[in-house]
C-alpha cells in the first residue's frame, strides 16, 4: 500500500485535468486491488453494444515476456514510478501490458468488424518491439520496429473472425526493457 500512497502523492503534484485525476485514481485502485474483467466474454455483451474495450473483457489466453499479464495499468514491479499507461505523452485509462514476447487471445464469435488500438513502448523503455494482429491465426497487421516514443495507430478489419490475437515480438534485439503496451484496444461492430 505504500507504493499506492507514494504514487497518489506523485500524481497529486502533477498538473492535470480533473478527468485525468479521476482516471489516475481508478488506476491506483486497480493496482491496490486488481479487479476481475467487467465482461466474461465479448459474446456476453448485448447486441446493441457498438464498441468494447479489450482491456475490460476476459481474455482466452494471455502471456507476457516479463512479469504477468495486466490490464489498465503498468505493473509496479516493472517500473514502480510510472503505473499509468502512457504513449507519446498521452495517458490511457484502457490498455494491456504486453512485454515481448507476448500474446493476448480473445473470442470474437464472429460478431465484430474492426479492431483499433495505439501501440508502443511505455516511457523509460530502452528496447524495441513489433506489434502483430492476427484474426483466426492469419496475420492482418504488422508494425514496423517500434522504439523510443514511436507509436503505431492500428485499425484492422476483423469482420467474421472467431479469434483475435494481439502479439508483440522482439524487433531482433532481444526483449530487454521492451515495455510494450496496447493502448485503447477496442473492437467495433
For cell 485514481, what's the residue? 25
What was the pLDDT predicted at 51?
95
Residue 23 lies in a domain: no
What was the pLDDT predicted at 53?
94
Q: How far apart are CA 145 and CA 143, in angstroms?
A: 6
| Summary mean pLDDT of the chain | 85
Distances (CA, A) of 34 to 59, 75, 77, 78: 15, 11, 14, 16
Is 160's pLDDT higher than 80?
yes
Residue 18 lies in a domain: no
Residue 96 lies in a domain: yes
* pLDDT tens per residue across span 63-108: 999 889 999 887 777 666 677 888 988 888 899 999 999 999 999 9
User: What is the rounded average pLDDT of the residues 49-53?
Assistant: 94
Query: Structural domain of residue 88, as residue ranges?
Result: 37-188
CATH number for the domain including 82? 2.60.120.1060
Dihedral angle, C-alpha 29, 27, 57, 110, nearest 10 °: 170
Residue 110 lies in a domain: yes
Q: What is the pLDDT confidence band of residue 40, given thresholds at 50, 70 and 90?
A: confident
Looking at the structure of the chain, the number of domains it has is: 1
Residue 180 lies in a domain: yes
Write down how long the chain is.
Answer: 189
State the pTM of this model.
0.82
Amino acid at each position: 500500500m505504500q507504493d499506492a500512497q507514494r504514487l497518489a502523492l506523485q500524481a497529486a503534484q502533477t498538473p492535470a485535468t480533473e478527468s485525468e485525476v479521476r482516471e489516475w485514481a481508478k488506476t491506483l485502485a486497480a493496482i491496490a486491488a486488481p479487479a476481475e474483467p467487467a465482461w466474461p466474454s465479448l459474446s456476453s455483451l448485448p447486441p446493441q453494444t457498438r464498441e468494447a474495450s479489450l482491456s475490460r473483457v476476459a481474455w482466452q489466453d494471455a502471456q507476457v515476456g516479463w512479469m504477468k499479464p495486466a490490464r489498465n495499468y503498468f505493473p509496479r514491479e516493472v517500473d514502480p514510478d510510472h503505473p499509468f499507461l502512457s504513449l507519446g505523452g498521452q495517458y490511457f485509462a484502457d490498455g494491456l501490458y504486453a512485454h515481448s514476447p507476448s500474446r493476448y487471445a480473445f473470442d470474437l464469435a464472429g460478431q465484430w468488424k474492426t479492431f483499433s488500438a495505439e501501440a508502443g513502448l511505455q516511457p523509460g523503455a530502452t528496447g524495441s518491439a513489433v506489434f502483430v494482429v492476427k484474426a483466426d491465426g492469419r496475420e492482418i497487421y504488422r508494425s514496423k520496429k517500434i522504439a523510443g516514443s514511436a507509436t503505431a495507430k492500428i485499425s484492422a478489419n476483423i469482420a467474421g473472425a472467431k479469434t483475435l490475437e494481439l502479439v508483440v515480438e522482439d524487433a531482433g534485439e532481444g526483449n530487454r526493457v521492451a515495455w510494450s503496451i496496447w493502448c485503447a484496444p477496442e473492437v467495433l461492430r
